[in-house]
Structure 1
Amino acid sequence: MFETILTYLAQGAGSDIFAGGTALGLLGASLALGRGLLASGWQALLRRVMVTVTLDNRTAAYRGFYGWLTMTGVLAHARRVRITDVHSVAGEVYGPAPGLHWFWREGRLCLFLRERKDSAGRDGPAYARPVESVSLTLIFGRVATIRRWIAEGQAHLAAQERIGPEIHVFQDSYWEELGQVTARKVETVLCDDDRIDRLVADMRRFLGARGWYATRGIPWRRGYLLHGPPGTGKSSVIRALASELGLDIAILDIGRAGLGDEALRQAMVTAPKGAILAIEDIDAAFRQRKKGEAVSGVTFSGLLNAIDGVAAQEGRALVMTTNHPDRLDPALIRPGRADMHVELGLIGAGTAARLFARFFPDRPDLVPGFEAALGAARFTPAALQGWLLAHAEDAESAASAEGLIPKPVKTTMAAE
């Protein structure tokens, strides 16, 4: 067989057509090989002189990078801009519109590409958060340079004046920042005793006890239950806690339509770091328990697993509120899920007098009369605040409490 092949080659070598075809084939192969080597060499050269970092809006670095863009103004010349989903104390943060942009920084040519998708993925829900990615390419640059720029941007955002806690709300598949709310001092929350101060001290101790929990092999999580009639300040306590401890607030509505066990688990796992996780009116989602059924798509077992399951977030302070603690299943509010229960009830005349003095600081002479007028009556903080707001321009009328205290109903005996 081998000898036959050699014979054909020998005969073909004497043919001009065969020789020409062979030469062309070798030339084509050489050109293809040359192009491949050239492309490989070019790619290798690009890898040596260019560095690219890609970020998306699901990362903390993305926010820091836009902070750096705002701080440096390197893309101030861009004529096409769009609001980003990054917020600062000053308001909305603008960035270049989707597409390719360029700028010079520290003697380097930088290419900036912004891309945006309508959903989190082909298989994701239509309501999923739009995913935006940005790619920054430096010519003759280093990854360390881009990391430094991101860190500078994060420091710039952190240095801005903070007016209060950042509010985050879970929107089906992602946490959305809604902006900051004004800080509230703990002493402005009305209570007849020091239970609010004890709550603050407990949460402060928990947040600083990571090593203590790790040494003892205990999950670094703590839950709180705030309960009491409507208007007693449960939401105000959450805001005051976040303000006092420098935390944000992540609000999770487990009763919303469309929220299921998997989405709830995702929400608990991905809750913003450094935020109080607040589930308000938790009894509304479970008005009755029948084999795990719930008003929303969340099952009772799904809620319990999300709170303290294997994948539950560490370092998390969970605050649940309810107007009806008697409606809650004991499994939900046992230690390990709700470690500290704080009742917020009605307040008496002495505490109400402190609120009056705060409303009318220039009329201390009216405080004793207001306290005496209230007598032994007790009120919700919301009712007292509403009364004082309604009479904010008339301190004397506010102090009289005329109309604030319900008059006793007179009954008469029918003559026989």
Structure 2
Amino acid sequence: MTYDIQGLLAEALENDFLVGGLGLAALGAAYGVLHMVLGALWRLGAARLWLTVTLDNRTDGFRHLLLWLEETGALRKSRRFHVDRNAKDAFAPAKGVHWFRVGAQLVRLSREMSEKARVGQSQRPLETLSIQVFGGRKAQVQAWLARGAQIAEAMERDGPKLFQYASSYWQELCELPARPLGTVLSVDDRLERLLEDVRWFYAAKDWYVARGVPWRRGYLLYGPPGTGKSSLIRAVASELHLDVATLDIARRGLGDEDLREAMAEAPDRAILAIEDIDAAFQGRDPGDALPGISFSGLLNAIDGVAAQEGRALFMTTNHRERLDPALIRPGRADMHVELGLVGAAQAAQLFARFYPERADLAEPFAAALGTKRFSPAELQGWLMAHMSDPEGAARAEGLQHAPMLAAE
């Protein structure tokens, strides 16, 4: 019996097909064991090294994460998107896995949809977002969701909130009506380029940190009265869901320390605005030691050691030539945007906006203006004076004598 078994084994081992099959079976078993071990090690490592947060579309956090992704442009290199109503028709990540970086950290985002599970009164499919951050912390993802919640709140408002510094605190004055960027007249695409620059700045904290550069950026808007400088600040704030914090640096009783504290404690996600900055030092030398804010105090508040970070600073002036070069150099005013008089083409746009039912008169209005140039405030004043008479407005007779509206 023993001999028979040994003989069978010897014959089997001489069979190449059987030996090959046994070898493949052994390799398969070894692969299965290795796969199981590596999987266990991966899960153990993932649990220790990867922070994982899962959200579904029954929670507010799902929408807040989508809004944060849209604002930061974290998935700008991805090639798979779809328009998502959870993010107010923004381009949101499509189903599947997406990889991106936040600063030096690697992030894996997975979006899944279940057609079998339905949620809400609309019975939409259940969707989940799973985000994994290598070496991440819970507070980090909570900050992303908190920012998404701020965006959602701002989108539900009509427009930006207006804050004004009152002695020792920022006072919320009102909520400004939203203003689209397209309602501010310009002869080219400079306003769109400004908007994109500000959009980039507010999403670029990690870029600044990685390079050891203070997270600050300044903008100078200049041009004659009535050309839309204040309107542009409001439009940028509206487009980016930011608030506006305005500082009157010529106000009596405001000193250097007050200014520094005001700028450092300005509301989060707000544009800092200092209008008519040339008027604050009119008739004074930069080194004058007079009551109020000193020129050196202003410079230190803008980019000194204790200067604020994370908020764009907008300064406006009717006379750029009156400003000291030290105030408007790069690092304090990184981008200069001129808002000047506009011609017939821009006037026709404004006419069509005022009289949408008589847009056919916009071209005759432009022809009547010819090569003349006006401030947007002059054109608006003329059209307001002819609210019920579009034909008379289109003739533009006497427009050169139109009363100037208060600047912006």
- Give the shorter-chain TM-score range: 0.5 to 0.7
Given candidates 261, 269, 275, the residue that maps to 1:274 is 269
Change (3 A) 1:159 1:301: closer
Equivalent residues, number: 254
* C-alpha contact (below 8 Å) 1:349/1:378 kept by paired residues: yes
Secondary structure of 2:357's partner? coil
Matching residue of 2:391: 396
Instruction: Check if 1:166 corresponds to 2:161.
Output: yes
Matching residue of 1:365: 360
* C-alpha contact (below 8 Å) 1:203/1:317 kept by paired residues: yes
- 2 CA distance for matches of 1:160 and 1:242? 12
Instruction: Check if 1:302 corresponds to 2:297.
Output: yes
Q: Give how far 1:313 is off.
A: 1.3
What are the residue-to-residue correspondences of 1:219-258 with 2, within 5 Å? 219-258=214-253
- The amino acid that maps onto 1:222 is R
- 2 CA distance for matches of 1:367 and 1:295? 52
- 1 CA distance for matches of 2:291 and 2:345? 42
Matching residue of 1:92: none
Q: Give how far 1:293 is off.
A: 2.4
Matching residue of 2:314: 319
* C-alpha contact (below 8 Å) 1:269/1:312 kept by paired residues: yes
Given candidates 170, 173, 176, the residue that maps to 1:178 is 173
Given candidates 182, 189, 194, the residue that maps to 1:194 is 189
Instruction: Check if 1:351 corresponds to 2:346.
Output: yes
- 1 CA distance for matches of 2:286 and 2:205? 36
Question: Structure 1: any 5+ residue segments left out of the alignment?
Answer: 1-150, 408-416
Q: Give how far 1:171 is off.
A: 0.5
* 1:167-218 deviation digits (Å, cap 9, x = unpaired): 0000111100012010000000011111100100110111111111111111
Q: Give how far 1:404 is off.
A: 0.2
Q: CA RMSD in A?
A: 1.9
* 1:337-364 deviation digits (Å, cap 9, x = unpaired): 0000000000000000000001111112
Matching residue of 1:142: none
What are the residue-to-residue correspondences of 1:56-95 with 2, within 5 Å? none
The two structures have a TM-score, normalised by structure 2, of 0.60
- 1 CA distance for matches of 2:226 and 2:245? 21
Matching residue of 1:380: 375
Write out the 4+ residue segments of structure 1 that deviate beyond 6 Å after TM superposition.
none
Question: Aligned residues: percent identity?
Answer: 66
* C-alpha contact (below 8 Å) 1:370/1:401 kept by paired residues: yes
Matching residue of 1:69: none
Q: Give how far 1:161 is off.
A: 3.5
Q: Give how far 1:311 is off.
A: 1.1
- The amino acid that maps onto 2:323 is L
The two structures have a TM-score, normalised by structure 1, of 0.59
Change (3 A) 1:322 1:179: same
- 2 CA distance for matches of 1:167 and 1:257? 21
Q: Give how far 1:366 is off.
A: 1.0
Given candidates 324, 331, 344, the residue that maps to 1:329 is 324
Given candidates 251, 260, 283, the residue that maps to 2:255 is 260
* C-alpha contact (below 8 Å) 2:159/2:177 kept by paired residues: yes
Q: Give how far 1:406 is off.
A: 5.2
* C-alpha contact (below 8 Å) 2:217/2:311 kept by paired residues: yes
